[in-house]
Every structure is written in C-alpha cells, then in structure tokens.
Amino acid sequence: MTSLTQEQKDEVIRLYKLKIKNKNIARFLGVSFHVVNNFLYKEYLKTNERAKNNGAHLKLADEVIEMYKNDYPYKQITERTGLSHHQICEIIKLTTYRRRQGITIKNLREVQRLWEDGYKIANISYKLDIPYGQVQYWVRKIRTGVYTSVH
C-alpha cells in the first residue's frame, strides 16, 4: 500500500477543497484512487470540522421544532435557521409531533360510504373534519379500486 507524504496530503486537501474529483486528484498525484479516498474519508474528514455528521444542526433543534409546530413551511424554516431540508427532516424525526394525523379506519369507511352516496369531496371533508387533500387521496384510492373495505 502506498502512503502519502505530507506534501501530497496537503495537495490532496487543497484539490479536494477546490471540488476536484478524487479520481482526478489520484491521477494528478500518480497514486491509486483508493489511497486518495482512504486518506480523505478515514483521516481528513473524520478530524476536520466539516465532517458530515458533526451534529451542529442539532443545536437548533428546539427552534426548528417550535417553528414546525407553528406550521412554518420548510422553506421558511430553512431560511431562518440556515439548515438544509435534510437536516430539518432529521430533527423532526426526533419528535413524536406530526402536522398531519393519519385517518382512522372508521373515518375511511365513512368517507367511502359518503362517496358512494354521492357526496362531493368538499362536503365529505367538511362533514368529517378531515383535510380536503386527505379525503381526495382516499376517494382516488376508492375509485381506482385500490382500497375496498368490508362494510
């Protein structure tokens, strides 16, 4: 196995920061692609503060959860906190709170019954106090035959 000299390591880091692909860095330095990868992922990124899972975004967890509970859109949460959509989703997974609650079997059967009786989606939504989009989704499933229930 070929190890890198300190000068080569510095050059790998410099080129990596310039967003040059690892295989091109390896070709430029005349070493194996695997040597460059091993150095970057086993030595450099683990000790560098830019490491992928350093958890810095979790410091804003309380703020993100509060905004989520107050129905802020993801885009606005991103703009206010500077976190990526992925990081926000990771924080929200830690909570048990969900904006949307699932539909119960009882309500689903009631949606089906009302739809078969000729009610419109808006009327079903209003009558059962279920979001319009959720009723629309289940009516589509009922119409296409994906969902059939036993009465």
Q: How many domains does the chain have?
A: 3
Report the alpha-carbon distance of residue 45 to residue 54 in Å, rounded. 10
Cβ(110)–Cβ(128) under 8 Å? Answer: yes
Residues 41 and 61 in one domain: no
Does residue 88 fall inside a structural domain? yes
DSSP-derived letter for residue 100 is S
The 3-state DSSP class for residue 129 equals coil
82 and 115 assigned to the same domain? no
Local confidence pLDDT in tens for the 151 residues of the chain: 468 899 998 998 888 888 888 899 999 999 999 999 888 888 777 665 454 555 667 778 888 888 888 888 888 988 998 888 888 888 888 777 766 667 788 888 999 999 999 999 999 989 988 888 889 988 998 888 776 665 5
Structural domain contains residue 19: yes
Domain for residue 151, yes or no? no
Extract the tokens encoding 142. 């009922």
| 60/80 same-domain check | yes
The domain in which residue 33 lies consists of 6-47
41 and 61 in one domain? no
Same domain, 14 and 31: yes
